[in-house]
Amino acid sequence: MRVLKKAVLTGVMALAIAGSAHAADVKIGFVVKQPEEPWFQDEWKFAQKAAEEKGFTLVEIGAPDGEKVQAAIDNLGAQGAQGFIICVPDVKLGPGIVAKAAANDLKLMTVDDRLVGADGEPIESVPHMGISAVKIGETVGQSIAAEIEARGWDMSEVGAIRVSYDQLPTAVDRVEGAITALKAAGFPAENIYDAPQAKTDTEAALNAATTVLNQHADVKKWIAFGLNDEAVLGAVRATESVGIPAENVIGVGIGGAESAINEFKKPNPTGFYGTVIISPKRHGYETALNMYEWIANNKEPEPLILTSGSLALRDTYVDVRKDLGIE
């Protein structure tokens, strides 16, 4: 009996050691298009938590253009990685990324932005975690419309800055969702002005919004929406630069980035009214965990997972962040 117990114990220990060694051998890349952005830094942070829990190695790579994406995939292959998660700088790079991943024998998942093929349709063979962009946009539009009503504004006298980045399908879906909700609430379509940004950062949004404000200097009340918090913060900064008071501006962003939270922490309210927080925890932690399970246990991820967001305001953001597991 003692011999049998010893054999069983030895076998259990061997399995545990083998499992640990297997986890230690797993290497996963996490490639993002804008590593300087707080959203992607948070995704990395939560992905690293998954790595620490499971014992695999996470390789963080910034790749802001197609050439760097190709180099990153080759780099991961040379390092002996088994798979990677990517948020691409251009979704139309899809066929090339799929081919390069296959050439390096790497499993591939996408996050945030979904790859499209030569026909412009999503590449459904690549598992993806993204955001229900239209629904989140509608939440933005509904919250702006509700605040317009709360302030007693006449919608016919209000201008809307649509900070746009139409190269990205997600951006189009978000702003069109907001516009749909605003129109449903009675906002006049002719009062919506397009402010195309060259990049998806605050400076580009500020420049785009400033052009709109200068073209419509007679408008004294403004709302603003766009792809992310940075787009709306840029529009808010633009209103400040032309002397429009904060109480005449309603900007609602998307993301709940650190830049948005810092805006809420300012002593006096600004035109940045709210943000629809989308949790980087799921997008970082869950995708990394799903990739690990795919590599280690051959458990393929769901083909499509869409996450949603929650509206956070100056006096509610702490509770909203806690509810989403961010704090």
pLDDT in tens, 128-185: 999 889 999 999 999 999 999 999 999 999 999 999 999 988 899 999 999 999 999 9
pLDDT at residue 5 in the model: 41
Domains, the chain, ordered by start: 27-126+280-307 (3.40.50.2300), 133-278 (3.40.50.2300)
Q: Which of 114, 26, 84 is nearest to 305 (CA)?
A: 114
pLDDT at residue 323 in the model: 82
pTM: 0.66
| Measured distance CA(116)–CA(99) in Å, rounded | 13
pLDDT at residue 6 in the model: 42
| Measured distance CA(226)–CA(54) in Å, rounded | 37
Are the C-beta atoms of 166 and 230 separated by less than 8 Å? no
Burial degree of 143 (CB within 10 A; 0-12, 13-18, 19+):
buried
Taking CA atoms, 323 is separated from 111, 256, 273, in Å, by 22, 13, 20
Q: What is the DSSP letter of 227?
A: S
Are the C-beta atoms of 96 and 70 separated by less than 8 Å? yes
Mean pLDDT by 10 residues, the chain (327 residues): 42 41 83 91 94 97 97 97 97 97 98 94 96 92 98 98 92 96 98 96 97 98 97 98 98 92 96 92 94 97 91 96 78
Residue appearing with tokens 């309210």: 269
Strands 128-131 and 304-307: parallel
Residue appearing with tokens 């805006």: 263
Residue type, 169: P
